[in-house]
């Protein structure tokens, strides 16, 4: 007879895949759960990022409120005004920080005053209560005050507000205005007033920070050409042109970082899912090899046998992908709610099909890819195994294995590249994962070798037996240490990273540190203010003179010329900034010289030795000895960098980028910043009321309020981070449950044999519990230790922050995961302990 290769018969393959799968449904569901969570995380984040991008583009005009804006952080020069006039500004504002007082109850608060003229915004609206107040506050010569501020101070429309020397009626509550976020408004709430009344506040004095903005309603303008033409001229005059396009792009970039972090978290959840797949399928297929050999005996071809199980995996991946995408779609509706305080606009959720397709495709792809290695077994298992039962000796050709490994590495790299949008980062991430895996495998191997070498022969039977389980044939040491270890590693790295991220913004309010800062104290007010403090029994902690200046020349090159040069290696802000500088003959405790020598006193007639902060040195590309000419309100001062300081910016002390020695700036026009410590809320309110009445130009920063707001913001950020970390941790736990649960089938036969030979329940429980204690401890300890090293590296190279590890992973994760592993392991024994050995063998094997 002529033997030919059997036809594939796809319908039969599907039928067989279903028949075989339905009996293992509960195990396959666990495997599916890891896919669902991973995909849900990726899809929800992808959809949300997509929505964020689309919304920013769609709402770019209403986000800015105008087509373009010319702004200047100082009074605009004649040249700037000429440009503004020639373009025909449709609205303008002057904004600055100032104290506001409510005469009704004496309340005071630092606010952002925006003195507005013209019908701004041209796109979007001013949301106010009453609704028409946004359009009438200018004609009614009243103020539109931040809604939360009004609620805090129990002020309603009709009450008055005092800004500087001007008292005006509150027309309504300001809910939102294009260009500002809820977070920024909570630090300095906005007060809109008509520009025509600005003069009467008497707050526009020399040295006070103010911004001039000119708004243009010109939809037909070619914004790219306009930017190219005007920006160089405006920059030279310390002004700037922003278009709605560039603003939305910048905004997009800002949220790119948020997306990137979220993507990374999703990726970790997905990777955990992959480990879940790999470990579940490994044991699942191993148990199926005998059936495959039988099928081959009965005439199934290698392709048919392989396809039956591949179809199962594809189906599970597909269903997991669909469910995961569904959950991800539902979840992303929660993001606008969670992130609303960080976004300057309302998000309109649009379900785009691309992330959904990607979710399903990813579900199938990752399932197949991570199942491929064990699946190869179905191809190579010989029908002879039916007679011999030696599937443990199954050999998979090297080439096939290497190809699968290579494809997995490629997948992880491509996926991380797609998520992180950076090839180098993707490579580092992929390498990190594989180095971790290699180390874990090495640790597991070492552990096995160590037990073999130093086997405690004097131990009792159960202890010895549990140790023997770790290296006997069919041991699960490597698989479980890898699954538990990598799961713990990822979860705990996420935890440590979260700590680093949150610690970066944590501030401490130490007792006796200054908690009230007075800005813009004029020279003639200094003595009287010191008197006021003394009369109230308050100590002046710092009284620092401030002089404003700009850079004129750097290393002999004019700053204006450098602005035009696109090739220079420095951050442009340095060239445009109005520096606030102080002078003294010594350093404070928050400063430390890292390069050069600190010179505290200048020698007349010689270049002035200045000290600059390390971040400024880096951004400006300045080195020791570099000459810098400063323009101090018309007077040019030649200086050189004599030292570079490390400054602790998180200390909330008054710190400076540029520090002059004493002996040169004493007679320059200056104002002071004073700090003091007030013991309680009441004395703070009393001091502020006093100061607002007598010194309306002085801005008071109450750090107590700032601390509360910052804490609130941090709470929200940690909520978001925790919410996303939850995904990964949940996937990790499911993977853990899956891995340990699957190991049941490895050990149950032995437990039953022991039972048959007369082992008591207690002995079987002890053997199993101890084996899982060893595995849980080894896996979780290795995972946490490796994540400690990984997080240290992240802190050092990525976040550039000192890293103080939390003890939570050591105190909670290691024992918690070990206990979980032991509990799941022991639950595997339930049937052995409750039924007769024969019954168990029939039911379970």
CB closer to another protein, 396 vs 463: 396
Q: By CB under 8 A, is residue 302 in contact with another protein?
A: yes
Q: Give the distance between the most distant pair of CA atoms in the chain.
A: 116
Could you write out the DSSP letters of every residue in 336-371? HHHHGGG-SSPPPP---HHHHHHHHHHHHHHHHHHH
The residue from 295, 546, 734, 820 that contacts another protein (CB under 8 A) is 295
Smallest gap from Cβ 404 to another protein, in A, equals: 21
Residues with Cβ within 8 Å of 720's Cβ and at least 6 positions away in sequence, in order, are: 338, 339
Q: By CB under 8 A, is residue 606 in contact with another protein?
A: no
> What six digits make up the tokens of 241?
């042109």
Stretch that binds another protein, among 1-9, 124-132, 532-540, 678-686 (CB under 8 A): 1-9
Q: By CB under 8 A, is residue 294 in contact with another protein?
A: yes
Q: Give the dihedral of Cα atoms 772, 774, 778, 781; nearest 10 deg.
A: 90
Smallest gap from Cβ 828 to another protein, in A, equals: 18
3-state secondary structure of 420: helix
CB closer to another protein, 294 vs 720: 294
The residue from 62, 125, 167, 301 that contacts another protein (CB under 8 A) is 301
Residues with Cβ within 8 Å of 364's Cβ and at least 6 positions away in sequence, in order, are: 314, 317, 318, 321
CB closer to another protein, 19 vs 254: 19
Q: By CB under 8 A, is residue 386 in contact with another protein?
A: yes
Kindly write out the interface string for residues 783-822 of this chain, putting x where it contacts another protein by CB under 8 A and - elsewhere: ----------------------------------------
Backbone φ, ψ for residue 171 (5° rounding): -85, -30
Q: By CB under 8 A, is residue 20 in contact with another protein?
A: yes
The residue from 167, 291, 763, 801 that contacts another protein (CB under 8 A) is 291
Backbone φ, ψ for residue 702 (5° rounding): -90, 105
CA distance 364 to 323: 12
Q: By CB under 8 A, is residue 29 in contact with another protein?
A: no
Q: By CB under 8 A, is residue 397 in contact with another protein?
A: no
CB closer to another protein, 20 vs 690: 20
> What six digits make up the tokens of 556?
């002999």
CA distance 734 to 277: 11
Q: By CB under 8 A, is residue 396 in contact with another protein?
A: no
In the chain, DSSP finds a helix count (H) and a strand count (E) of 29, 21
Size, binding site for another protein by CB under 8 A: 39
Q: By CB under 8 A, is residue 281 in contact with another protein?
A: no
Quote the Cα angle for 742-785-813, to 5°: 55
Residues with Cβ within 8 Å of 289's Cβ and at least 6 positions away in sequence, in order, are: 377, 378, 381, 385, 391, 394
Could you write out the DSSP letters of every residue in 764-809? HHHHHHHHHHHHHHHHHHHHHHHHHHHHHHIIIIIS-------SHI
Residue 161 near residue 191 (C-beta atoms within 8 A): yes
CA distance 43 to 328: 5
Q: By CB under 8 A, is residue 690 in contact with another protein?
A: no
Residue 293 near residue 385 (C-beta atoms within 8 A): yes
The rounded radius of gyration (Å) of the Cα atoms in the chain is 35
Smallest gap from Cβ 305 to another protein, in A, equals: 9
Residue 322 near residue 360 (C-beta atoms within 8 A): yes
The residue from 7, 78, 253, 453 that contacts another protein (CB under 8 A) is 7
Q: By CB under 8 A, is residue 22 in contact with another protein?
A: yes
Stretch that binds another protein, among 12-20, 83-91, 454-462, 695-703 (CB under 8 A): 12-20
The residue from 197, 297, 448, 754 that contacts another protein (CB under 8 A) is 297
Q: By CB under 8 A, is residue 235 in contact with another protein?
A: no
Stretch that binds another protein, among 21-29, 198-206, 425-433, 563-571 (CB under 8 A): 21-29
CB closer to another protein, 762 vs 843: 843
Q: By CB under 8 A, is residue 760 in contact with another protein?
A: no
Q: By CB under 8 A, is residue 842 in contact with another protein?
A: yes
Stretch that binds another protein, among 22-30, 32-40, 112-120, 789-797 (CB under 8 A): 22-30
Q: By CB under 8 A, is residue 831 in contact with another protein?
A: no
Q: By CB under 8 A, is residue 837 in contact with another protein?
A: no
Stretch that binds another protein, among 294-302, 494-502, 688-696, 740-748 (CB under 8 A): 294-302
The residue from 334, 350, 384, 423 that contacts another protein (CB under 8 A) is 384
Q: By CB under 8 A, is residue 296 in contact with another protein?
A: yes
CA distance 252 to 69: 18
CA distance 180 to 111: 13
CA distance 244 to 239: 17
Smallest gap from Cβ 307 to another protein, in A, equals: 13
CA distance 423 to 429: 10
Q: Note the residues at the interface with another protein (CB under 8 A).
A: 1-7, 9, 12, 15-16, 19-24, 290-291, 294-304, 382-384, 386-388, 842-843, 845
């Amino acid at each position: 007879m002529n033997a030919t290769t059997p036809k594939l018969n796809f319908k039969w393959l599907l039928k067989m895949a279903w028949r075989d799968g339905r009996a293992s449904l509960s195990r396959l569901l666990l495997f599916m759960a890891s896919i669902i969570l991973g995909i849900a995380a990726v899809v929800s984040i992808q959809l949300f990022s997509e929505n964020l991008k689309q919304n920013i583009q769609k709402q770019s005009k209403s986000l800015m409120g105008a087509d373009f804006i010319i702004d200047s952080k100082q009074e605009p020069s004649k040249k700037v005004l000429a440009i503004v006039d020639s373009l025909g500004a449709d609205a303008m504002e002057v904004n600055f920080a100032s104290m506001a007082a409510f005469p009704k109850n004496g309340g005071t608060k630092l606010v952002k005053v925006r003195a507005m003229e013209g019908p701004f915004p041209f796109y979007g609206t001013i949301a106010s209560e009453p609704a028409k107040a946004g359009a009438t506050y200018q004609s009614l010569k009243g103020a539109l005050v931040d809604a939360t501020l009004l609620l805090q101070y129990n002020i309603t429309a009709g009450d008055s507000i005092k800004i500087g020397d001007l008292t005006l009626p509150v027309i309504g509550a300001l809910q939102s205005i294009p260009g500002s976020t809820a977070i920024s408004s909570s630090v300095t709430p906005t007060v809109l007033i008509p520009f025509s009344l600005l003069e009467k506040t008497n707050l526009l004095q020399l040295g006070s920070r103010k911004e001039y903005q000119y708004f243009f309603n010109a939809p037909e303008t070619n914004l790219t050409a306009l930017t190219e033409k005007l920006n160089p001229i405006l920059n030279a005059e310390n002004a700037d042109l922003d278009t709605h396009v560039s603003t939305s792009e910048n905004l997009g970039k800002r949220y790119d970082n948020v997306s990137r972090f979220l993507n990374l978290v999703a990726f970790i959840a997905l990777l955990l899912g992959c480990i879940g797949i790999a470990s579940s399928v490994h044991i699942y297929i191993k148990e199926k090899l005998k059936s495959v050999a039988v099928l081959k005996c009965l005439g199934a071809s290698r392709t048919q046998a392989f396809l039956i199980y591949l179809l199962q995996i594809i189906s599970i991946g597909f269903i997991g992908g669909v469910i995961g995408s569904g959950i991800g779609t539902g979840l992303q509706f929660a993001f606008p709610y969670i992130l609303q305080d960080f976004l300057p606009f309302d998000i309109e959720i649009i379900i785009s099909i691309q992330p959904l397709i990607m979710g399903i495709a990813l579900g199938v792809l990752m399932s197949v890819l991570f199942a491929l290695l064990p699946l190869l077994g179905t191809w190579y298992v010989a029908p002879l195994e039916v007679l011999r039962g030696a599937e443990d000796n199954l050999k998979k050709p090297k080439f096939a294995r290497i190809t699968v490994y290579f494809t997995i590495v490629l997948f992880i790299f491509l996926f991380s590249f797609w998520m992180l949008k950076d090839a180098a980062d993707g490579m580092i991430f992929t390498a990190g994962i594989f180095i971790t895996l290699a180390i874990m495998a090495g640790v597991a191997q070492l552990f096995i070798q160590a037990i073999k070498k130093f086997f405690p022969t004097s131990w009792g039977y159960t202890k010895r037996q549990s140790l023997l389980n770790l290296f006997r044939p069919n041991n699960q040491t490597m698989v479980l240490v890898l699954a538990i270890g990598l799961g713990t590693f990822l979860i705990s790295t996420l935890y440590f990273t979260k700590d680093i991220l949150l610690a970066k913004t944590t501030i401490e309010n130490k007792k006796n540190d200054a908690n009230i800062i007075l800005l813009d104290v004029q020279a003639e007010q200094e003595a009287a203010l010191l008197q006021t403090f003394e009369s109230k029994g308050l100590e002046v902690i710092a009284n620092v003179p401030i002089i404003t200046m700009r850079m004129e020349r750097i290393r002999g090159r004019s700053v204006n010329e450098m602005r035009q040069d696109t090739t220079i290696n420095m951050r442009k802000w340095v060239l445009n900034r109005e520096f606030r500088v102080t002078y003294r003959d010594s350093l404070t405790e928050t400063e430390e010289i890292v390069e050069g020598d600190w010179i505290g006193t200048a020698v007349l007639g010689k270049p002035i030795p200045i000290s600059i902060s390390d971040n400024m040195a880096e951004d400006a590309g300045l080195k020791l000895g570099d000459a810098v000419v400063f323009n101090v309100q018309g007077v040019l001062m030649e200086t050189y960098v004599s030292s570079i300081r490390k400054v602790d910016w998180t200390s909330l002390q008054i710190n400076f980028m540029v520090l002059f020695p004493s002996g040169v700036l004493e007679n320059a026009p200056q104002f002071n910043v004073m700090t003091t410590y007030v013991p309680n809320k009441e004395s703070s309110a009393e001091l502020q009321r006093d100061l607002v009445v007598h010194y309306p130009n002085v801005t008071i920063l109450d750090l107590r309020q700032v601390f509360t707001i910052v804490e609130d913001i941090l709470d929200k950020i940690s909520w978001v981070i925790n919410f996303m970390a939850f995904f990964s941790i949940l996937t990790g736990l499911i993977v853990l449950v899956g891995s340990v649960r699957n190991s049941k089938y490895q050990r149950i036969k032995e437990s039953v044999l022991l039972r048959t030979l007369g082992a008591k329940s207690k002995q079987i429980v002890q053997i199993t519990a101890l084996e899982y204690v060893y595995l849980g401890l080894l896996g979780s300890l290795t995972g946490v230790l490796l994540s400690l090293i990984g997080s240290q590296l992240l802190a050092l190279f990525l976040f550039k922050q000192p890293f103080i590890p939390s003890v939570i992973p050591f105190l909670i994760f290691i024992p918690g995961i070990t206990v979980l592993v032991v509990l799941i392991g022991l639950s595997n024994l339930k049937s052995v302990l409750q039924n007769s050995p024969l019954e168990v063998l029939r039911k379970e094997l």
